[in-house]
Structure formats: C-alpha cells, structure tokens
Amino acid sequence: MKLKVVIYSLLALGFLALTYLVDWLFIIGAVVLIYLNQRELKINK
C-alpha cells in the first residue's frame, strides 16, 4: 500500500522532468498521478 504511493510519486517526478526537458503537455500525466497519489493517501488514512 505504501509502495504504490512511492511509485506514483516517482512517476510524477519523472513526468515533471519530461515537462521541462521535452514538452509542456507531460504536466497532464503528473497532475493525474498526483491526484491518484492523494486519493491513495486518503484511503489509507
């Protein structure tokens, strides 16, 4: 359950890096992953 949060966070950081390096549209993936991460943290609380 905590592993899922870590994986989502690392993927979101990867998308943020791609946003700066490649194209601004990668921010959409980061926002989706951050939303999923917050939802996962609320479920586990």
What domain count does the chain have? 1
Please indicate, yes or no, if residue 34 is contained in any of the structural domains. Answer: no
Q: Residue 33 in contact with residue 14, Cβ under 8 Å? A: no
Task: Evaluate whether residue 12 is within a structural domain.
Answer: yes
DSSP 1-45: -HHHHHHHHHHHHHHHHHHHHT-GGGHHHHHHHHHHHHHHHHHH-
pLDDT at 30: 94
The pTM of the full predicted model, rounded to 2 decimals, is 0.82
Give the Å distances, CA to CA, from 26 to 8, 29, 45: 15, 5, 29
Residues with pLDDT less than 50, the chain: none
Residue 36 lies in a domain: no
CA distance 45 to 38: 11
